[in-house]
Amino acid sequence: MKSLIPWAVVVALLACLPLLSPPEYFIHLGVTVLLTAVAGTGWAMMGRYGLVSFGHGAFLGIGAYTMALLWNMAGLSPWVGIPIGVALAAGAGVLLGYPCFRLKVIGHYFALVTLAAGEIVRILITALREYTGGSLGMTPDRVPPESAFLAMQFDKTGFWWLALAAWAGGLLAWWLLDRSMSSKALAAISEDEDAAASIGIRVTREKLKVTLISTGLAALAGALTAQYRMYLNPESLAGLGPSLQIVFGAIAGGMYAPLGPTVGAIITIGLDESLRVAFGTDFTGGAPFIYGILLVLFMIYLPRGIVGIFERRRKPAAAPPALGVPVAAK
């Protein structure tokens, strides 16, 4: 528990940041980075054990649209809607994961099954345009300021605290998982599934556990992002595009360290924003272009991400045998 104290201090300090009354724009950047980091942390929890999902966008979408539809159609507050969305997304994750894990759909096949699932969610959201607004997107109904708290419609500072709480929750989940036997079991599974099963590890159960956490975090990030922007659309919340963006952030930062996806989120958001500020709309396409090059370079030269550089320097011998390290480097 002691190791949690510095983390708690960091979170508390970050929570005090708005007291310095920084410009709104910086809070906006901060919220975006934190929420992206939550999704990336969720993805990396599966990704670092070799469960590479190309469909995490689906869970962002399920979380966000469940929340927004419950609010617009049933008047259910996001405070209730988000937990329902998270539960639904985690349920969907298990529904997809159980047969995959049971029937040993792994590696490429797992990645492509999740890709299909992500696309299904995107197309369903588009096709159900009577309720979701289709590809035009939808906006949650606004409420007058006096009931804003119940409707979770805060200003940027309010969302900073919410996003910070979600981010801290994600890191706590990571920390708890790391200390549990499940983490060892999953590491064993990712090395050799049959061998792990032969020493009594319940492969399906362990994988499902991490899937639950991972998809739940993605849904939380999706719902909060939608509520923060007050706008949802299928292209940015489901399907291959956002899924790959989550993957990119987590990989660039490093998916084997708890802070890796957060570093990745800082890089991706920073890149996006600096390109937008520097070039405006003339440079549309510049961001994905640079992402792409970076992703390739990261895979070739830095498969453990930015955080990986520091890891290796600090404890060269103690570094765990990583899944992402090229065979030649071992």
Partner 1 sequence: MDPFLLEALVNGILLGGVFALPALGLNLVFGVVDVVWLCYAELVMVGMYAVWFLFTQLGWPLPLAFATCLPIVSLLGIALHYLVVRPLLSSPPINQVLATGGVLFLLQGAMTLVFRTEFRSLGVDMPPMEVGEIFVSGTKLAAFCAALVGAAILWAFLKYTYVGTAIRAIARDREVMPLMGVDPQRIYLIASAVGGALAGLAACLLVVQLDVHPFVGLSFGPITFMICVMGGLGNMLGGFLAAFLMGIIVSVGGFWGTTEFSYVVAFGFFIVTMFARPRGLFAR
Residues that bind partner 1 (CB under 8 A): 50, 52, 54, 96, 99-100, 103-105, 107-109, 111-113, 115-117, 119-120, 123-124, 126-127, 239-241, 244, 247-248, 251, 283-296, 298-300, 303, 323-324, 326-328
Helix, strand or coil, per DSSP, at residue 322: coil
Smallest distance from the beta carbon of 255 to partner 1, in angstroms? 10
Cα torsion 112, 117, 118, 119: sign = positive
Q: Please name the residue that has the structure tokens 């890089």.
A: 267
Judged by beta carbon, residue 31 or residue 267, the one nearer partner 1 is 267
Closest CA to 46 of 234, 192, 226, 174: 174
Judged by beta carbon, residue 145 or residue 285, the one nearer partner 1 is 285
CA distance 124 to 68: 15
Smallest distance from the beta carbon of 200 to partner 1, in angstroms? 23
Contact of 292 with 314, CB cutoff 8 Å: no
Smallest distance from the beta carbon of 155 to partner 1, in angstroms? 33
Smallest distance from the beta carbon of 268 to partner 1, in angstroms? 11
Judged by beta carbon, residue 29 or residue 96, the one nearer partner 1 is 96
Smallest distance from the beta carbon of 192 to partner 1, in angstroms? 14
Q: Please name the residue that has the structure tokens 């996003």.
A: 163
Contact of 82 with 220, CB cutoff 8 Å: yes
Judged by beta carbon, residue 292 or residue 320, the one nearer partner 1 is 292
Contact of 137 with 73, CB cutoff 8 Å: no
Long-range contacts of 186-195 (CB under 8 A, 24+ apart): 186/49, 186/210, 187/49, 187/320, 189/49, 189/50, 190/49, 190/50, 190/51, 190/323, 191/321, 193/104, 193/106
Smallest distance from the beta carbon of 41 to partner 1, in angstroms? 18
Judged by beta carbon, residue 75 or residue 107, the one nearer partner 1 is 107
CA distance 41 to 254: 10
Judged by beta carbon, residue 207 or residue 227, the one nearer partner 1 is 207
Smallest distance from the beta carbon of 125 to partner 1, in angstroms? 10
Cβ neighbours around 116 below 10 Å, total: 13
* Helix (H) and strand (E) counts in the chain: 15, 0
Judged by beta carbon, residue 314 or residue 330, the one nearer partner 1 is 330
Strand partners, 249: none
